[in-house]
A and B are shown apart, each in its own frame.
Chain A
Amino acid sequence: GIQVEQSPPDLILQEGANSTLRCNFSDSVNNLQWFHQNPWGQLINLFYIPSGTKQNGRLSATTVATERYSLLYISSSQTTDSGVYFCAVEGYNTDKLIFGTGTRLQVFP
């Protein structure tokens, strides 16, 4: 099945800093989503982005499907951005959304 790797595994930032999270996947995908899991365990959708670029406030994401990676940009980070960021992908001919191992982000004031 598809392998999903995320980097870095851990990231510590000071408030106001920018960061880039990466997701590599091993095969072509027809679905890619980014999620944020907050410290209370809630999984929140950030982007549905199988290809192209999207922006939502301080967050943006880019997926280069031909090169099998996606990037999540967080600008001017805030303490509320802390949590784990997951990339999840679904390949063609499968109905399984497979999650990466996540990037744990801690933002300090």
Chain B
Amino acid sequence: DSGVTQTPKHLITATGQRVTLRCSPRSGDLSVYWYQQSLDQGLQFLIQYYNGEERAKGNILERFSAQQFPDLHSELNLSSLELGDSALYFCASSVPQMGTGAPGNTIYFGEGSWLTVV
């Protein structure tokens, strides 16, 4: 158990719908990361938050948004879903280097949320 909790574990929804994926980082970790893993794209970095603020952005679509709340949990919102959004979405957390937000140590991944868009 990595200590990173993601919900829901599985989700099936229709095209055009909106879903929210939730992540609770490991206790004490200030940085939260979101990754998307699909069959044809591998593991793609989406976005990182550090202590509530957006720190780095990857290949995140405009239809997707995320935030990190004061209690450090994070949510990834996916809207206007398309078939191609079907993927395994991972959240990860780490203890950042002091003052930088960069991972100064191991990043731990949750078990992921399997999203199927039909």
Contact B108 A45, beta carbon cutoff 8 Å:
yes
Would you call A83 an interface residue if the criterion is a C-beta within 8 Å of the partner chain's C-beta atoms? Answer: no
Residues of B within 8 A of A41 (CB): 88, 111-112, 114
Task: Tell me whether B56 and A95 are in contact (CB under 8 A).
Answer: yes
Q: A94-B56, A96-B45 are in contact. Are A30 and B102 (CB under 8 A)?
A: yes
| A-side interface residues, number (CB < 8 Å) | 21
Docked complex Cα distance between A41 and B43 (Å): 12
CB within 8 Å of B: which of A79-109?
86, 88, 90, 94-99, 101-102
State A97–B96 Cα separation when bound (angstroms): 13
Question: Known contacts A43-B112, A95-B101; can you find 19 more A-B pairs with CB under 8 A?
Answer: A30-B102, A33-B107, A42-B109, A43-B90, A45-B106, A45-B107, A48-B105, A48-B106, A86-B43, A88-B43, A88-B107, A90-B103, A95-B55, A95-B56, A96-B56, A99-B35, A99-B45, A101-B42, A102-B42
11 interchain pairs, CB-CB under 8 A: A43-B92, A43-B112, A45-B108, A48-B106, A86-B43, A95-B102, A96-B58, A98-B45, A99-B35, A99-B44, A102-B43
